[in-house]
Homo-oligomer: A and B are copies of this chain.
């Protein structure tokens, strides 16, 4: 699946991923009122609104982008009905041949970690049958519990040719509280990066590993160091746009081959129609067109920065 992701990034010249993190406040009124007319102001109504909203964004952008990254929390907050919308979104993205990065940040140990891996990337056995659960292509994983938490994911990835992105240095302001603590003269996130490289060596594609890393766009200097520590690791870079990261901050996350990083934008794309930059030009009814324009502008920013590198 890392091969497919890289091939799609190259074909589209687009090292980006659209974060499908649908907050209710982002969803245009016309979509909400139609969903609520049908199902009431219920969890089911919320799920329907989310799904229709996502469908519009996917339809407007799928030919430009290699991948989507739905944030499961935004669905899970609506319970079962929200998770049905998550599943529908994944199924539709797959139909459009997009690579799916499930932003689930799961992390546990042993058989529990295996259950997460099976449910999100692999197949679960029921009697003599087996079934895909949510069927993502990649999942994000939390490393705090150590190798016992990661290895069950690697086993499923090996079997299914799928991948993970392990949290190394997250984009938020307080990420340093634990991640930046110095162990000897090396911060914890570098130790985690070394482990990611080690896990990754056991599960290689052609030039990059099936084991990726998450490193926030908001910490470009750390990205530079981590790029060296993990040369064969694909880096998923959140924090572009709404969180403050810019194209020029991102160049050090890439390798000399122009590959090695994929930059996520969520709010900046899916709620573009609400932003100062686009709200003059696009109405809520045209939210999906605004998202398409935001993708084009993001690509121009990143491609421009990479060309200058």
Contact = CB atoms under 8 A, between A and B. Distances in A.
Interface in A81-117: 82-84, 87, 105-113, 115-116
Contacts of A177: 146-147, 195
Contacts of A124: 43, 46, 77-79
20 contacts: A41-B126, A71-B112, A73-B106, A73-B112, A73-B119, A77-B115, A77-B119, A77-B133, A80-B80, A80-B83, A82-B133, A105-B107, A142-B144, A143-B144, A144-B144, A144-B167, A146-B175, A149-B174, A178-B192, A183-B183
B131 A42 contact: yes
Given A80-B84, A82-B133, A115 B145 contact: no
Q: Which 7 A-B pairs have the closest CB atoms?
A: A41-B127, A146-B174, A77-B119, A146-B177, A79-B133, A73-B115, A77-B115
Interface string A140-172: 001111111100000000000000000100111
A73 B144 CA distance: 17
A76 interface: yes
Interface in A10-47: 21, 23-24, 32, 36, 41-43, 45-46
A119 B42 contact: no
| Candidate in A71, A87, A131 with the most chain B CB atoms within 10 angstroms | A131
Contacts of A21: 112
Given A46-B124, A146-B177, 18 more contacts: A41-B128, A42-B129, A76-B116, A77-B116, A78-B119, A78-B133, A79-B124, A79-B133, A82-B119, A105-B108, A107-B107, A109-B175, A145-B167, A146-B174, A146-B178, A147-B174, A178-B192, A182-B184
A108 to B, nearest CB: 6
| Candidate in A77, A149, A195 with the most chain B CB atoms within 10 angstroms | A77
Interface residues of A, number: 73
Contact of A145 (B42, B82, B175): B175
Interface of A: 21, 23-24, 32, 36, 41-43, 45-46, 71, 73-74, 76-80, 82-84, 87, 105-113, 115-116, 118-120, 124-129, 131-134, 142-149, 167, 170-179, 181-184, 188, 191-192, 195
A80 B87 contact: yes
Contacts of A116: 73, 76-77
A32 B127 contact: yes
A50 to B, nearest CB: 11
A301 B32 CA distance: 56
A170 B109 contact: yes
Nearest to A145: B170
Contacts of A118: 77
Nearest to A186: B181
Given A126-B43, A126-B46, A172-B109, A179 B77 contact: no
Contact of A173 (B79, B148, B182): B148
A113 B147 CA distance: 24
